[in-house]
Structure 1
Amino acid sequence: MNYTAILPAAGSGRRMKAGKNKLLLELSGKPVFIHTLEVFEQDPACEAVWLAVKQEERDVIESEIRRLGLKKVAGFADGGTERQDSVRACLEVIPECEVVLVHDAARPFVSQEVITRLAEAAQEQGAAIAGVRVKDTIKKEKEGFVSETIDRESLWMIQTPQAFRYGLLLEAVKSAAEQGFLGTDEAMLAERIGQRVQIVESSYENIKITTPDDLIHGKAILASRQQEEEK
């Protein structure tokens, strides 16, 4: 199942406390966003990748893409203040396609198996998201004390990619913009227009590089994968 990927890449990286966009930080010799792009570069089903970036960072990002010879990046859109704005900006410029995957540029460890299953599920069901089951005990708090222990059997931690039929995502994003609704992810926008969203089980390795600890974890994942390849 062929697809087009949208990567919002205009974040500020405040929690990383690095003084610049976390995507530009190096992870084992390459910027974080390059590791992510390489996943899609290597996937034959990926027809194109579009990035939403800050205008002041576009030259640096384009330079890295050219230097490493990545061919799948088809174009750029101006990143917005909110992730939702960045996704909408990309949807306004990409050619119409069957399936769109929206993926955090700061998640470089997604597997191609998960991407394939998401694209297929989106084609069949309309919308599909990656997620992993909650492992920890979850409690609600009120005034500093536990008010309730939540049954975790039905709880999932949601990741990206999130995959949609092109027309459905366009409708969901436009509806949210027209009504001034701000969602936490694209699936939420699809849900509010009545779309059922399928969950595709992903991997706990599919982390988002957000804090300095995540860089340490990311290096460990890369080292482990390299060891597996050398066996």
Structure 2
Amino acid sequence: MEEKWGVVIVAAGRGTRMGTKESKQYLQLADKPILVHTLSLFQRMDFVAEISLVVGKQDLDRCNGWVREFGLDKVAAVLAGGGERQHSVMCGLQALSADWVMVHDGVRPLVTEASIQACCNAAVRNGAAVLAVPVKDTIKQVDETGRIVSTPDRSTLWAIQTPQAFRRSTLLEAHEKARQDGFLGTDDASLVERLDVAVHVAEGDYANIKITTPEDLPMAELLLERRRLEGGGTL
């Protein structure tokens, strides 16, 4: 890939669903914190030129320590996040200079290099792209009483993952417009969509799980071990 990319790794959330005192991104997965697995993956990729890591203010020191300990020299900045994920992403974007950027959840350490490459290629072709997988289950729309009101066509539904990839100038414009409008989106793609910019999906991998609940951690350990046994490399 000719383009050089910047990456915003978002890891500022505290999270309550994990049920642990420690924030989920700092829990151990195999031999390293989850966040270090994620950072190490992007560190290894040749076309990634720079990384900004956005964390809680109270975690700046230990994250800077891990950057040094694990030789993560592509991490150009470790920054304190904002009140919402959206604000944290904006902080991270402002620390990057690459023309193309990805935004990735710090608690998705199992994304593959092939999936990241596919997402970036789709973004360069189309201007913006997100990793996603087709929904396996039937989805129901339910009202406030619990009554089913519709059943969307499953063939049109995709579960969205990260990374999400954009031209940096487009994503900055989208974040600025959202700030001006007081709009909070569920992901970065939703902000870009408000600019009437088409966002395409690149098919990802069901193993690219977001570690958010207690049952996710043993699943991640199992997937990581299977990948090692299959010779797919280590994280």
| Bucket of the pairwise TM-score, normalised by the shorter protein | over 0.9
Q: What residue number does 2:123 align with?
A: 122
The answer on 1:141 being equivalent to 2:136 is: no
Q: TM-score, normalised by structure 2?
A: 0.94
Whichever residue aligns with residue 195 of structure 1, its letter is V
Amino acid at match of 2:80: D
Partner of 1:65: 67
Q: Which residue in the other structure is 1:221 paired with?
A: 223
Which position in structure 1 is the counterpart of 2:189? 187
Query: C-alpha offsets along residues 86-116 of structure 1, whole Å, 9 cap, x if unaligned?
Result: 0111122222x22100000100011111111
Size of the aligned set, in residue pairs, is 229
State the distance in 2 between where 1:29 and 1:14 align.
23
Amino acid of the structure 1 residue aligned with 2:177: S
Query: Are the equivalent residues in 1 in contact too, given 2:60–2:79 (CA < 8 A)?
Result: no
In the alignment, the residues of structure 2 paired with residue 145 and residue 169 of structure 1 have an alpha-carbon distance, to the nearest angstrom, of 38
Q: Measure the CA separation in 2 of the matches of 1:154 and 1:48.
A: 35
Residue of structure 2 in register with 1:11 after alignment: 13
Q: Contact between 1:13 and 1:20, CA under 8 Å: does it hold in 2?
A: no
Structure 1 Cα separation of the partners of residues 50 and 151 of structure 2: 44
Counterpart AA for 2:142: E
Q: Deviations over 1:159-182 (max 9, x none)?
A: 000000011001001110111110
Residue number in structure 2 paired with 1:107: 108
Match of 1:32 among 24, 31, 34: 34
Shift of 1:213: 0.5
What letter corresponds to residue 207 of structure 2 in structure 1?
E
Q: TM-score, normalised by structure 1?
A: 0.95
1:150 maps to 2:152:
yes
Is 1:4–1:47's contact at 8 Å kept on the other side of the alignment? yes
Deviations 1:10-31 (A, max 9, x none): 0112111111211110011210
Distance 1:87 1:228 in 2: 35
Query: Aligned partners of 2:47 and 2:220: how far apart in 1?
Result: 25
State how far apart, in whole Å, the 1-side matches of 2:46 and 2:117 are: 10
Shift of 1:140: 2.0
- For 1:177, the aligned partner's letter is R
Residue 133 of structure 1 and its aligned partner are, at CA, apart by 0.3
Gaps of 5+ in 1: none
Gaps of 5+ in 2: none
Instruction: Give the aligned CA root-mean-square deviation in angstroms.
Output: 1.3
> What residue number does 2:208 align with?
206
Aligned to 1:85: 87
Q: What secondary structure, in the 3-state scheme, does the structure 2 residue paired with 1:150 have?
A: coil
CA contact (8 A) 1:129 1:199 kept: yes
Question: Retained in 1: the 8 A contact 2:100–2:165?
Answer: yes
